[in-house]
Amino acid sequence: MILPSLVLILIGGGIASGIAARRSVVVARWIAVASVLANLSMCFGIWMAHLDRSQSSTARWFVECDFAWIPQFGIRIHLAIDGLSLALLLLTYFLGVMAVLSSWTEIQERVGFFHFNLLWVLAGITGVFLAVDLFVFYLFWELMLVPMYFLIGIWGHERRIYAATKFFLFTQLSGLLMLVAIIALAVLHHQSTGVFTFDYEQLMQTALSPRTARLLMLGFLVAFLVKLPAFPLHTWLPDAHTEAPTAGSVVLAGLLLKTGAYGMIRFVLPFFPGPSHELAPIMMTIGVVGILYGAVLAVGQTDLKRLVAYTSVSHMGFVLLGVFAGNQIALEGAVVQMISHGISTGALFILAGLLQERMHTREISAMGGLWETMPALSGAGLVFAMASLGLPGLGDFVGEFLVLLGAYRANVPLTVLATLGLLAATLYGLRFAQNAFQGPNPHHWKLPDIRPREWAVLGLMMACLLWIGLYPQPVLKTVRSSLAAAQQRALPQEIVRR
């Protein structure tokens, strides 16, 4: 029952935090931290138990939980962890703790309801990474939306209602397409086998005609591309990031975007190998366009949070490029990029929140010379800016290098174009560091430097980026067997469908 408890602890923690806030907001905050830390500890224990066996074991799942829920429709509570989902769950709970700590002093109104929504978003993300029954997967996919809508709409900034509504409409409408595809796949499986089920392994074996496979794949793919987000379905992202509170931006950038990439690896590639192979050049092209588009627009931004939001469009373009490059190296690079991007971009949003809390502005032009008055915070900002532009020795470099190495084997011209995005990343990273931290201090800021709680948050995130950048082998070992299975199933010549 360890897997259901990962969801139930967060749901229960959110309810307990909401109730406790009526008497003490401090207790509510500590309940939220303890709930996420409990899940982080359990997943870390699973990781330690299976790290050495992740490549040699023949078992499909590390831990599995399966029992009937609605048997007349073949719906089961089927949860399972493999290397891919475990790595993303560790990222979820690590960033979850960082999100709670980063909002410690920022959120002063309706604190209990804030932590209720934050923990329920994390519960939905947990279910997405655990569910191997497609009906249950869709329920958790939708569970993420409503709490995130409230996080943006209640605790966001000036245009929060517009941003929250736009986020909800984009993700909800695309999710409905996926629901239609899931139901159609289950019906087609029933017609060919006589068994009505939403089980992952059984639906993967459903015989589909090429035309049907293409249509069903589009239902899944559009939902995942919107959540990723891929160009041109990304327009909800800059508004949502800019208007969300700090914790909301961390969860959006670090976790919700990763559910889109996870869905492509877990469902699109193995379920629809033929159409995936056919669409790979188009998807890789869209990824490269996103890399260049996001990087160029980031260079021109004056709002710090909007700048970081467009860098996410660029970085997730690398993930899309790696997913559809069609080889193991690029796929591993995409997963490392997902994890590293979650940490580095989440840290940049935390940094933006700290600066806004002190200066009451996000305009880069209103900053300048901050190193003089906040040397520690400025130094942390420089580290994360360098991580975002792909400095060797930090995690983002490893992911981008592996993606480009794998993509080079698939499509040389697109890979060459993708490398231009790294040049643009250097421009926006150095521009931000120069304009915010260096140069004169025209406003003569007298601001408090980084506090112990903030040191703990940013210091841990720096340590993780250094660890992945200098020694990525534990992460690669953890996900390698899962990605090898997905890559093997994605070979169209191994699946005979008519």
Say if residues 250 and 102 touch (Cβ distance below 8 Å). Answer: yes
Residue 154 confidence (pLDDT) = 92
Q: How many C-beta neighbours within 10 Å does residue 329 have?
A: 19
Residue with more model confidence, 416 or 495: 416
Which residues fall within 8 angstroms of residue 304, CB to CB, at 6 or more apart?
352, 355, 356, 362, 363, 364, 432, 436
Provide the pLDDT for residue 52.
Answer: 67
Tell me the helix, strand and coil percentages in the chain, rounded to 5: 75, 5, 20
The token pair that represents 6 in the structure block: 């990962």
Per-residue pLDDT reduced to its tens digit, 335-359: 999 999 999 999 999 999 998 888 8
Helix (H) or strand (E) holding 427: helix 412-437
What pLDDT score was predicted for residue 107?
86
For 22, counting Cβ atoms within 10 Å of its Cβ (0-12 exposed, 13-18 middle, 19+ buried), the class is exposed
- Higher-pLDDT residue of 4, 54: 4
Grouping H, G, I as helix, E, B as strand and the rest as coil, residue 68 is strand
The pLDDT of residue 369: 80
The token duo for 342 is 């979650």
Of the CA atoms within 13 Å of residue 313, those in its CB half-sphere come to: 30
> What pLDDT is recorded for position 54?
47
What is the C-alpha to C-alpha distance for residues 400 and 319, in angstroms, rounded to an integer?
8
On the 0-12 / 13-18 / 19+ scale of CB atoms within 10 A, 138 is buried
What pLDDT was estimated at residue 206?
Answer: 87
At residue 30, the pLDDT reads 94
229: cis peptide before it, omega within 30°? yes
pLDDT in tens, 86-104: 999 999 999 999 999 998 8
CA angle 96, 102, 108 (to 5 degrees): 110
- Please report the pLDDT score of residue 496 as a whole number: 37
The confidence score (pLDDT) of residue 58 equals: 59
pLDDT tens-digit map of 445-462: 678 888 899 999 999 999
Q: What type of residue is 314?
A: S
281, 263, 334, 368: which is closest to 479 by C-alpha?
334
The string of DSSP letters for 111-143 reads HHHHHHHHHHHHHHHHHHHHB-BHHHHHHHHHH
What average pLDDT does range 134-141 have in this prediction? 95
